[in-house]
Chain A
Amino acid sequence: MKIPLYLAKNEELRAIGIEPVPEAEQSVRAIELLDQYRKFSRQLSVMLETCTGCGACAKACHSYLGTNDFFNIPAARAGLIRRVYKRHLTWTGKMLTKLTGGPDIDAEMLETWVDYFFQCTVCRRCAVFCPFGIDTGEIVLAGRNILAKLGIASSFMVNIARNELTAGNNTGILKPALLDSCSFLEEELREETGVDIKIPVDKPNSDVLYLPSSSELFTNVETLMGAAKLFHFLGVNWTISSTLLEAANYGFFFNLDIMKEHNFRIRSAAAAVGADTVMEGECGHGWRVARMCTEGANGPVPFHLVHVLDFMAARLPDLPLNKLPLRATLHDSCNYARSAGLVDAPRELMRACVEDFVEMTPNREMNFCCGGGSGILMEEMMEIRMKLGKMKAEQIRQLLPLDYVALPCASCKAHVPLVLKHYGMEGVATGGVIDLLGKALRL
């Protein structure tokens, strides 16, 4: 299936330091890049060379279940690279091609890569279902990295990466706007609670650098307000940074050099405010990248790295809470559940702050992706995004009547409300876990 993805223009790519490869050279260059990537990471060759095509992954994948497109079966998706890999980079493949002829890499193949590597949300559910634990997400990320180095990338992701590189956050907020937003939110907090609660920006001598998703300054404000309330109550000496106001790291989705660059700023931003602890806010892939990729991308990590949900769960005994009269469920962000082991903390918090907490089936590491992961949040992909969200919608439907779906991840927060609307469940509210905790807190 062709997808309506808007590709980045050359000038957009140059703005993030990528020099596009002329179309005529792309095929040859793709093979060189594939060879480079295979030397760069063990997983690519092990995973491509181990798959036996048993098909166990088919029913694991929300993308295949939602679209019924053969190439959205994880093994088939990986097969798009495997064919090229075996044909050009293994000598059995080379020999066999001499005997039988085989598929070559051409512009059409690269287009197919785009079509299917951007219908995978790198949720890793296939790795849980595969008898060998093959993680198609890794293969997809390799494919997207290779495509990006050729100059083929999603315009949406490239522009977000550019915002991250220049402004230090996805939405491109600069310091004056940030200060404005914070004083507005402080005002809101004062109205709501009657207490003077600060959202400190670039405060020197802070203990904790808090990295929210920058969307928390505009759309998901309840999450940042909740966090501010909780930090205030617990007496945490915290700040946000104007140079790095983002837990998300879009480089992870298509260009590891950009991921590394954005990651590096965590260290300098923490040093600038004197913090020895970096606390990540509600962002799924952001937490995966920070926790699992910082050491690998940027060398030894000199600070403590914690997630706000783990931190709050540990401080739960100190928090006086009024249980909210809600029937609520928790959506495990894939990156938390399968890639970063954050499953118990959000549950403890949910049980503590709502009256009726219900679990989805399946949940935890078996949970379905909401369909908006790995940067697939672009407008033009809406029809496909709704298909990718089908399994999640069905899971939520089983729990109706429901008041609230807790989504401790900014991508899920952006995507799930649209899915609920599309599948006729507008009545269900969505938001973060910290939002609820903030509301339940007795100040």
Chain B
Amino acid sequence: MELLFGGILPYVAFAVFIGGTALRITTWLKKPVPFQLTLFPEPDGKVGKVAAVTREFLFFRTLYRESRLLWLWAWLFHFSLAMVIAGHMSGIYFLRSQFTLIGAAPETSILLSTVLGAVMGTIMIVSLSALLCRRLFSQELRKLSESLAWFDLLLLLAVALSGLGMYLPGYHADLPLVRTYMEGVFTLRPAPLPLLPIFVIHFSLVNFLLLYFPFSQLMHFAGFFANRAMLVEASPIFPTPAGKRLRSQFAGQKTQRGVFASREEADAREAPNR
């Protein structure tokens, strides 16, 4: 059981996460975009396009402009998620001493890391709950939500709650033990899972999240880029520059020209059916 959860599941989960996500994205990108879908005003040049998409990605500008309250919860959730992921990577690797790298005293670093982790975890839980309530209390949104949307939110909430659970007073999160274990996982020498109850729950939920991610609506993070890329495509130039490749097979197919020579002919062709 320990081997299954500690030694096999993480690899399966990670492989499915990376492989599944890559598969979903390549499936999208292999299909042609038969027509330019540029949504105007068109950003200027490559730099402008990258800047526009990046601004949208970092600050959720559209939501900010159109739906301020939703923006607040959505942005806070995604921001705290990003912080928490970064915190996990640096905090576990450096055993909370990551802030000494920018000049903090070791004790300060540990305190800062702990407090930031707790704060971000709390923001995540609050914002997820707000997003959940938003859906729950609006009849319109309740109807709009697919059943899996609820599951996604609850799963993320469970992950966040179990993670924050390790901050409970009296709970000793044995960070060095976790680090040793994670190091083992990353260097392909998996050790048995440290049997710290809340950690086991949190770790298993995260593994499940990774397994589930590529097949869920959580893929909207990749869909964002795939979609925005289509909307900022440069509009066509006329006459079409020589040597430009056809956008899709559709452009290469012959039309049925000549089938409809004139109205009279079409009428004549139809006449026997009348």
Residues of A within 8 A of B (CB): 11, 14-15, 17, 38-43, 45-47, 49-56, 58-60, 70, 73, 75-76, 79, 90, 92, 96, 100, 124, 127-135, 138, 162-163, 165-167, 172, 174, 256-257, 260-261, 264-265, 268, 291-306, 337-341, 343, 364-365
Whether A70 and B143, one on each chain, are in contact in the complex, defined by CB atoms closer than 8 angstroms, is yes
Within 8 A of A (CB), among B23-57: 24, 27-29, 31-42, 56
Given the known interface contacts A46-B28, A52-B220, the answer about A297 and B250 at a Cβ–Cβ threshold of 8 Å is yes
Whole-angstrom CA separation of A173 from B244 in the bound complex? 37
Given the known interface contacts A56-B67, A130-B62, A299-B252, the answer about A45 and B39 at a Cβ–Cβ threshold of 8 Å is no
Whether B39 and A132, one on each chain, are in contact in the complex, defined by CB atoms closer than 8 angstroms, is no
Given the known interface contacts A296-B36, A341-B38, the answer about A46 and B144 at a Cβ–Cβ threshold of 8 Å is no
Q: How far is the CB of A391 from chain B (nearest CB, A)?
A: 15
Whether A167 and B66, one on each chain, are in contact in the complex, defined by CB atoms closer than 8 angstroms, is no
Which of B39, B138, B219, B244 is in CB contact (< 8 Å) with A124? B39
A337 cross-chain contacts in B, Cβ below 8 A:
40
Whether A131 and B63, one on each chain, are in contact in the complex, defined by CB atoms closer than 8 angstroms, is yes
Whether B223 and A302, one on each chain, are in contact in the complex, defined by CB atoms closer than 8 angstroms, is no
Q: How far is the CB of A301 from chain B (nearest CB, A)?
A: 5
Whether B238 and A301, one on each chain, are in contact in the complex, defined by CB atoms closer than 8 angstroms, is yes
B33 cross-chain contacts in A, Cβ below 8 A:
41-43, 296
Whether A300 and B62, one on each chain, are in contact in the complex, defined by CB atoms closer than 8 angstroms, is no
Whether A45 and B31, one on each chain, are in contact in the complex, defined by CB atoms closer than 8 angstroms, is yes
**What 0/1 pattern do residues 192 to 231 of B give for CB contact below 8 A with A?**
0000000000000000000000011101100110111011
Whole-angstrom CA separation of A165 from B256 in the bound complex? 10
Whether A42 and B32, one on each chain, are in contact in the complex, defined by CB atoms closer than 8 angstroms, is yes
Given the known interface contacts A42-B28, A297-B250, A300-B244, the answer about A17 and B256 at a Cβ–Cβ threshold of 8 Å is yes
Stretch in B92-100, B122-130, B171-179, B259-267 touching the partner: B259-267
Please give me the 8 A-B residue pairs with the lowest Cβ-Cβ distance, nearest first: A50-B223, A341-B40, A296-B35, A166-B263, A300-B240, A165-B260, A42-B31, A305-B238
Whether A174 and B240, one on each chain, are in contact in the complex, defined by CB atoms closer than 8 angstroms, is no
Whether A339 and B238, one on each chain, are in contact in the complex, defined by CB atoms closer than 8 angstroms, is no
B39 cross-chain contacts in A, Cβ below 8 A:
124, 127-128, 133, 135, 338-339, 365
Whether B144 and A55, one on each chain, are in contact in the complex, defined by CB atoms closer than 8 angstroms, is yes
Cβ contacts A to B, 9 pairs, < 8 Å: A11-B273, A52-B220, A127-B39, A129-B62, A129-B67, A132-B228, A295-B236, A301-B238, A301-B240
Whether B263 and A172, one on each chain, are in contact in the complex, defined by CB atoms closer than 8 angstroms, is yes
Q: How far is the CB of A141 from chain B (nearest CB, A)?
A: 10
A100 cross-chain contacts in B, Cβ below 8 A:
147
Whether B62 and A131, one on each chain, are in contact in the complex, defined by CB atoms closer than 8 angstroms, is yes
Whether B255 and A264, one on each chain, are in contact in the complex, defined by CB atoms closer than 8 angstroms, is yes
A299 cross-chain contacts in B, Cβ below 8 A:
240, 246, 251-252
B42 cross-chain contacts in A, Cβ below 8 A:
341
Which of A52, A165, A298, A304 is in CB contact (< 8 Å) with B251? A298
Q: How far is the CB of B147 from chain A (nearest CB, A)?
A: 8
Whole-angstrom CA separation of A39 from B33 in the bound complex? 10
Which of A50, A76, A306 is in CB contact (< 8 Å) with B227? A50
Scoring B149, B239, B247 by chain A CB atoms within 10 A of each residue's CB, the highest score goes to B239
Residue of A with least CB distance to B224: A132
**B76 is an interface residue with CB less than 8 A from chain A:** no
Given the known interface contacts A295-B236, A303-B239, the answer about A75 and B31 at a Cβ–Cβ threshold of 8 Å is no
B141 cross-chain contacts in A, Cβ below 8 A:
53-55
A295 cross-chain contacts in B, Cβ below 8 A:
35-36, 236, 240, 244, 247, 251
A39 cross-chain contacts in B, Cβ below 8 A:
31
Whether B223 and A46, one on each chain, are in contact in the complex, defined by CB atoms closer than 8 angstroms, is yes
Q: How far is the CB of B96 from chain A (nearest CB, A)?
A: 34
Whole-angstrom CA separation of A260 from B35 in the bound complex? 12
Whole-angstrom CA separation of A297 from B149 in the bound complex? 37
Whether A42 and B231, one on each chain, are in contact in the complex, defined by CB atoms closer than 8 angstroms, is no
Whether A166 and B231, one on each chain, are in contact in the complex, defined by CB atoms closer than 8 angstroms, is no
Whether B140 and A166, one on each chain, are in contact in the complex, defined by CB atoms closer than 8 angstroms, is no
Q: How far is the CB of A374 from chain B (nearest CB, A)?
A: 15
Whether B36 and A15, one on each chain, are in contact in the complex, defined by CB atoms closer than 8 angstroms, is no
Q: How far is the CB of B244 from chain A (nearest CB, A)?
A: 6
B261 cross-chain contacts in A, Cβ below 8 A:
166
**What 0/1 pattern do residues 137 to 177 of B give for CB contact below 8 A with A?**
01011011111110000000000000000000000000000
